[in-house]
Amino acid sequence: MYENKCNNKDGCFYPYKKSAKCQQQCRLSLDCAEWAIEKKLSTTCEIAVCDEKTTSCVAIKDTNNQSCKPVKELCDLTCKPYNKCDTVSCDRKAPGSNEISCVHTAMVCNDNKDCTDDSCNKETGCVYTFNKKNGNKCSQYCEKDSECTAWGINNKLEDKCELPYCNTYSGSCDRKVGPQTQKCKETNQCETANDCATSKFGSTCCVNNGQKKCCEHKCRTDSDCVPRNDKEWGYCRKNPSGQNECINKPKCEGNEGCDDKNPCTRDICMKDYGFCKNEPRCVDHTECTEDICIPSSDKKTYTCSNPVKSCTNDKTLLDKNFDLLTKEQKTKWLGQCSALTGCVSCVVNAQCDDNKGCTEDSCVNQFCVNKPIHNQWCDPKLEGQKITVQALDQFINKNLKGGDTLPGQRN
């Protein structure tokens, strides 16, 4: 499903809008292969196709396989994780077969906190161990601000015009700008923003009366700025010191009233509301290029640059600059860019073949996944799947008739 939009530069464009009916965008049915795996359609005798009307993947009955029988209950009964660090999924052993295979993968533990080492214990599951590895950034484990009070006293933060708080992103006690008393204003000096503690909207190093002082950003977006009356709008803009602060301007009547003195923005007055929009220039609305606007020295003109993005199939490199990588890291920069979804390392399963007979090769969320196959040839030490005779008998009596077979049985 597409959400129709229009802008003054490019005209109409139609970004895909996900919903319960439109879960995965597609152009061809081939684009739905990974969605089918995610939805485990093979266990319900369905296949994924691309609906031309919505350009979305949908599940339909596999009419070419009349002998197919749903095996979800059998999967739930037989496919059990080896331990608390193992996850298991179920699939048919071969297309058209009513025998199943259990695919085991290691559990990924990640609490998204910078100060913890993530690991897994087979008996208890995920373990997150606090590690004082980043100096002051990982000083003391915490979950709430009150747990950092004693840490703040021990580190004499009050003398430094700072307050302790619990940084939920790192999972550690951290410091932020404290009460701005006269003493603090005189001593709270800095060289760069890194010398300043974090505040609500972020801190920066400003020039105040010729001296560099730590100062707080007063806003992050226009919505943080409340207008003083119904004839004005509030905007979040940088002042000469580099600090974000709220400014109030009369409601505009034309584009000339919205000039922000930045050649890299298109200044537009929304006349129905009297609200200014300063949209960035050089945006080409494609996923595979960077949008860069270079202002002239006199700030009157601009030049656009839209270089093609470099991609990687190594997740640890996704947020790094290609030019700053080591020679070894650059060899891992093998991805390609999709006009629909941006950087990817694969589109179809065939791109992920590692030429190993005992791995199941698939493209999941545009990254190659090579799962080990567990059977009597590839993994003779099968363990952990405790199936009782009583449980199987109950399943056979309830679900299997005639010539149907269980995994490992033959007629």
Interval 131-146: pLDDT, tens: 886 555 788 888 888 8
Q: Which residue, among 365, 349, 373, has the nearest Cα to 315 in the 3D structure?
A: 365
Q: How confident is the model at residue 210 (pLDDT cuts 50, 70, 90)?
A: confident
pLDDT at residue number 20? 80
Contact predicate 173/165, CB 8 Å: yes
Q: How does strand 244-250 pair with strand 232-238? A: antiparallel
Mean pLDDT of 296-311: 81
Write the DSSP string, 121-176.
ETTTEEEEEE---SGGGGSSB-SSGGGGHHHHHHTTGGGGTEEEEEETTTTEEEEE
Give per-residue burial for 368-392: e unless 16+ CB within 10 Å, then b. Answer: bbebeebeeeeeeeeeeeeeeeeee
Neighbouring CB atoms inside 10 A of 242's CB total: 13
For the chain, the C-alpha Rg in angstroms (whole number) is 29
pLDDT at residue number 49? 92
Q: In this structure, is the dihedral angle defined by the CA atoms of residues 128, 133, 138 and 141, taken in order, positive or negative? A: positive
pLDDT above 90 covers a percentage of the chain that reads 4
21-30, 86-95, 363-372, 397-406: range with highest mean pLDDT: 21-30
Give per-residue burial for 80-108: e unless 16+ CB within 10 Å, then b. Answer: eebeebeebbbbbeeeebbebbbbbeeee
Residue 62 has pLDDT above 80, yes or no: yes
Q: How many CA atoms lie within 13 A of 124 on its CB side?
A: 6
Interval 217-268: pLDDT, tens: 888 888 888 888 888 888 888 888 788 889 888 888 888 888 888 899 999 9
pLDDT above 70 covers a percentage of the chain that reads 71
- Residue spans of the domains in the chain: they are 1-70, 72-106+381-411, 251-308, 315-368
How far apart, in whole angstroms, are the C-alpha atoms of residue 276 and residue 244? Answer: 17
Query: Which contiguous run of DSSP H or E holds residue 245?
Result: strand 244-250
Residue 329 has pLDDT above 60, yes or no: yes
Q: Which residue, among 161, 138, 164, has the nearest Cα to 151 in the 3D structure?
A: 164
Which of the pair, 345 or 352, is modelled with greater confidence?
352
pLDDT at residue number 276? 87
Q: How confident is the model at residue 205 (pLDDT cuts 50, 70, 90)?
A: confident
Which of the pair, 38 or 179, is modelled with greater confidence?
38
How far apart, in whole angstroms, are the C-alpha atoms of residue 192 and residue 74? Answer: 62
pLDDT at residue number 264? 92
31-40, 191-200, 401-410: range with highest mean pLDDT: 31-40
Whole-number Cα distances in Å, 220 to 202, 237, 381 = 8, 9, 57
Neighbouring CB atoms inside 10 A of 30's CB total: 12
